[in-house]
Amino acid sequence: MGQPMKTELDLSRRPDAPALPASLAGLSLPALKQAMLDFGVAETQTGMRAKQLRRWLHHIGTREFADMTDLSKELRAELTHAFTLDRPDITEHKVSVDGTQKWLVRFAPGVEGESVYIPAVSKTGALCVSSQVGCTLNCTFCHTGTQKLVRNLTAQEIVSQVMIARDGLGEWPASAEGRQLTNIVFMGMGEPLYNLDNVAEAIDTLSDGEGMCIGRRRITVSTAGIAPKIPELGARTGAMLAISLHAVRDDLRDELVPINRKYDLQTLFEAIRAYPGLNNSKRVTFEYVMLKGINDSPAEAHDLVKLLKGVPAKINLIPFNPWPNSPYECSDWNVIEAFAAIVNRAGYASPIRTPRGRDIFAACGQLRSESIKKSAAEKRREALAEQAAQS
Ligand code: SAH
C-alpha cells in the first residue's frame, strides 16, 4: 500500500545495460528473453514476453510491432523505439529456369553469404543455408573453398536466411498447410561443425513447434568430417547427418577433402557410428561428388559399399558442378549411372542429385561471395562509418 505501482518497464536500468540487438527477428527464445531483460522488462515477465514475441516473429512472420495485439500499447511503442524486426538486406535475388531461387544476403558491411531454395517434385522443398561466410577447409572441388573464412554466422543470421526465404515464398504463418519450404539443409557456405554453438541454437529456433515449425528430422547438417563434433551434433540437435565423403581411400580423400589429414576415414567412421539414434528410418546421407577419372571407377563403387557396411546409409551422388577455372570435370553420365547401379545392387538408395540452379550459379559447391576477410582496423573503420551514417 502506498507503494508506486510497478510498471512493466524499468527503464532506469537502461544506461548500464548491455548493448541491445538491433533487430529481434531470428533471435532464439533465450536470446529474446535476454533482450527483454536488458531492455528493462521486469524479470518475472521476460519469459512470457519472449514467448509472445516468438509467436509473432517466427510463427506469424509479423513485420510491425503494432500488430502484436497481446502486448500493451505502451510496450509496443517502447519496443518500436528500441528495436526493429528487420531481416538482413538482400543484395541479390535470382530465380532459375528450374524454379531454384538464390538470395545473396548482406549480414553486415562486407559480410555476405548465400542461401538457395530448391523446390522438389514431391511437394517438398529445401532451403540450403550458409553457416559461415567463406570456409577454412579448402576442399579442392568446392568454390567456397577458394575463399578465406570471413566469419561465423550468428544463430540469428542463420535463422534470418530462412525468414527471408519464407518472406519471398509468402509462407507465413509457419504452420500453413501445403508449405513449399519443408526442409532445411546446412549445405551452403561454410563448415557447420566449426560453428556448432550457433548452428545448434539456430536449429532450436527453426524446429520450435511454437515458432518456425520445421521438425528436427527435416533438418540436415552436412559436414566434411569434423569427427570429434559429430556425436555432439546429434546429441545437441537431433538433426539428420550428412557426410561429404567423396573418396573411399585416405590418400585421395587427403587431397580432395584436406581435413581428412586430421581426421582420417577410420576416425570419421568411428564418429559416424557414434551418432545417436541411427537406424533404418534415420540414416546418414553420404555425399559423393562425381569427378571424372578421379573417384568414379567401378572399383571405388565396390569399396564404397564395403566402407559403409553396418552404417544405416543412403548415398547421394552429386554430378560435379563446375565454377570458373575449376580443376575438375564432371564424370560422364554413363559412368555415374554405372557407379549408382553398383551401389544400388548392394541395397543402398543412391539417387543421382540433379544439378539445380546451375544457370544462376546456385548449384552445390558454386556458392562464393565477394566478401573478404578484413583486418580488425578495417572493421573498426567500417563500424564507425556505419554509426556515423545512421546518426
Ligand atoms: N562444409 C560442409 C557443407 C557445405 S558443402 C560439407 O562439406 O559438407 C555442401 C555439399 O556440396 C558438400 O557435399 C560438398 O562436398 C558439395 N560440393 C562442393 N563443391 C561442389 C561442386 N563443385 N560440385 C558438386 N558438389 C559440390
pLDDT of residue 338: 96
| CB neighbours of residue 11 within 10 Å | 12
Report the distance separating Cα 361 and Cα 326, nearest Å: 14
Give the strand pairing for 183-186 and 219-223. Answer: parallel
The verdict on the CB of residue 141 being under 6 Å from ligand 1 is yes
Q: What is the pLDDT of residue 290?
A: 97
Cβ 114 under 6 angstroms from ligand 1: no
- Taking CA atoms only, the protein residue closest to ligand 1 atom 7 is 224
- Residue with the nearest Cα to atom 3 of ligand 1? 187
364 belongs to the catalytic site? yes
- Tens-of-pLDDT digits for all 391 residues of the chain? 434 444 566 666 556 667 888 999 999 999 999 999 999 999 999 999 999 999 999 999 999 999 999 999 999 999 999 999 999 999 999 999 888 999 999 999 989 999 999 988 777 899 999 999 999 999 999 988 888 899 999 999 999 999 999 999 999 998 777 899 999 999 999 999 999 999 999 999 999 999 999 999 999 999 999 999 999 999 999 999 999 999 999 999 999 999 999 999 999 999 999 999 999 999 999 999 999 999 999 999 999 999 999 999 999 999 998 888 889 999 999 999 999 999 999 998 878 887 777 777 777 666 676 777 666 666 677 767 766 776 6
Pocket test residue of 135, 244, 263 for ligand 1, highest count of atoms within 8 A of CB: 244
| pLDDT given for residue 16 in this prediction | 66
Nearest Cα to Cα of residue 258 among 81, 99, 137, 111: 137
All three cell numbers of 340, joined, read: 549408382
The predicted structure's pLDDT at residue 101? 94
SS3 210: coil
Is 157 an annotated catalytic residue?
no
355 lines ligand 1 (CB under 6 A): no
Query: Where do the domains of the chain lie, and which CATH numbers do they carry?
Result: 29-82 (1.10.150), 89-360 (3.20.20.70)
> Which residue out of 128, 135, 142, 364 is catalytically annotated?
364
- One-letter amino acid at 82 equals A
Residue nearest atom 2 of ligand 1, based on CA coordinates:
223
In angstroms, the CA 53 to CA 45 distance is 12
**Residue 332 Cα distances to 118, 257, 291, 320, angstroms:** 24, 22, 9, 10
Q: Which has the closest alpha carbon to 189: 258, 226, 135?
A: 135
Instruction: Name the pTM for this structure.
Output: 0.92
Mutate to test the pocket of ligand 1, among 223, 289, 329 (most ligand atoms within 8 A of CB): 289
Residue nearest to atom 9 of ligand 1 (CA): 187
Single-letter amino acid code for the residue at 254: D
279: closest CA among 243, 241, 249, 327?
241
Phi, psi dihedral angles at 112 (to 5 degrees):
-125, 140
Find the 206 Cα to ligand 1 centroid distance in Å.
Answer: 22
Distance CA 197, CA 241 (A): 16
